[in-house]
C-alpha cells in the first residue's frame, strides 16, 4: 500500500465548480494508473493545501468518488482506492464525467492496432447473417440521420458487428472491455451533422469491402476511418 505523491495543480476558478475539477483530477490519476488500487489518498487537509482551496470542495469531491464506488473510507485509517476491474471503473466514471482528449487519442492508437485486422478477418470469415447484421446498423444509422437522432450508439453497433463478424473471440472481448471509453470517444467526434455523415459514408465503404470479400481493402478503409476520427478529437478540442 502506498500514498500518492502530491503535485501542485492550478484549478480553473472560472469554469467548472471546484469539486468537479478535483474529481476529474483524481479520476484521471486513477485511470492512468498513477494511483493504484489499495493506495491511500492524501488527507483532506493535504489535498486542500496542494490545490490551494478550502476543504469544502475536497470533501465534496471525495463524497462523489465514494458514491461512485471508486474510493472507500476506512474509519480510523483513511480513504483508499478500491480494487475495480477496468470495465467496472469506466462504467462507474463514464456516465458522469468525460475523459481527457489525451486518453481518447490513446484509445484510437489501440483501436488502430486491432480494428483494421478485425475488418480483414471479417471480410474473410463473415457469414451471411453477420453481413445482414452489419447492414442493419447502416440502415438504422441512415434513418436516425434523417430524423436528426444522435448516431453514437449506431456507430458502436456497427463496429461491434464488424468485430463479431471477425469470429475472433479475443477481438470481441476487447470491444466489451473498451465500450465505455468508446462511448466517450463518439461524443467527442460526432459533434456535428457533417462529421456524422462522413462517419456513415466510411461505414458504408467498409461494408462494401466486406461484402466483396476484400480483406486488404476492408482493413485499409477501417484504418482510414479511425485515423480520420482520431483527428476529429483535436478539431473538437480547438472549437469553442
pLDDT in tens, 16-64: 577 778 887 887 787 677 888 889 988 888 988 888 888 888 888 888 7
C-alpha cell, 89: 471503473
Residue corresponding to grid cell 470542495: 57
Give the C-alpha separation, 107 to 85, whole Å: 17
Q: Note whether 222 and 119 are within 8 A (CB).
A: yes
Write the pLDDT tens digit of every residue in 184-232: 666 666 567 788 899 999 999 999 999 999 999 999 999 999 999 888 7
- Residues counted in the chain: 240
**Tens digit of each residue's pLDDT (9 = 90 or more) over 141-195:** 999 889 887 788 888 889 989 999 999 998 888 877 776 667 666 666 656 778 8
Q: How many CB atoms lie within 10 A of CB 5?
A: 8
Asked whether 81 and 41 are in contact (CB, 8 A), the reply is yes
Q: Which of 61, 77, 66, 81 is nearest to 21 (CA)?
A: 61
Show the DSSP H helices in 43-151 as ranges. Answer: 44-51, 55-67, 86-93, 101-125, 128-147
This prediction has a pTM of 0.60
Q: How far, in Å, CA of 184 to CA of 123, rounded?
A: 28
Q: What are the chain's domains?
A: 18-84 (1.10.10.10), 101-238 (1.20.120.530)
Residue 140 pLDDT grade (very low, low, confident, very high; cuts 50, 70, 90): very high
Amino acid at each position: 500500500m502506498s500514498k500518492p505523491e502530491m503535485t501542485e495543480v492550478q484549478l480553473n476558478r472560472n469554469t467548472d465548480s471546484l469539486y468537479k475539477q478535483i474529481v476529474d483530477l483524481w479520476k484521471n490519476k486513477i485511470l492512468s494508473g498513477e494511483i493504484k488500487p489499495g493506495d491511500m489518498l492524501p488527507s483532506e487537509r493535504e489535498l486542500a493545501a496542494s490545490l490551494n482551496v478550502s476543504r469544502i470542495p475536497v470533501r465534496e469531491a471525495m463524497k462523489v468518488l465514494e458514491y461512485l464506488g471508486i474510493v472507500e473510507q476506512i474509519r480510523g485509517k483513511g480513504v483508499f482506492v478500491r480494487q475495480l476491474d477496468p470495465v467496472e471503473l469506466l462504467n462507474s466514471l463514464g456516465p458522469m464525467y468525460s475523459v481527457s482528449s489525451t486518453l481518447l487519442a490513446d484509445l484510437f492508437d489501440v483501436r488502430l492496432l486491432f480494428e483494421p485486422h478485425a475488418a480483414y478477418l471479417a471480410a474473410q470469415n463473415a457469414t451471411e447473417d453477420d453481413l445482414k447484421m452489419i447492414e442493419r446498423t447502416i440502415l438504422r444509422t441512415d434513418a436516425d440521420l434523417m430524423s436528426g437522432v444522435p448516431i453514437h450508439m449506431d456507430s458502436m453497433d456497427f463496429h461491434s458487428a464488424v468485430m463479431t463478424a471477425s469470429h475472433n473471440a479475443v477481438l470481441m472481448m476487447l470491444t466489451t472491455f473498451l465500450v465505455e471509453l468508446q462511448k466517450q470517444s463518439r461524443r467527442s467526434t460526432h459533434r456535428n451533422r457533417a462529421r456524422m455523415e462522413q462517419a456513415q459514408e466510411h461505414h458504408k465503404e467498409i461494408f462494401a469491402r466486406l461484402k466483396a470479400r476484400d480483406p486488404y481493402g476492408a482493413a485499409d478503409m477501417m484504418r482510414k476511418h479511425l485515423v480520420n476520427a482520431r483527428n476529429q478529437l483535436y478539431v473538437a478540442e480547438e472549437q469553442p
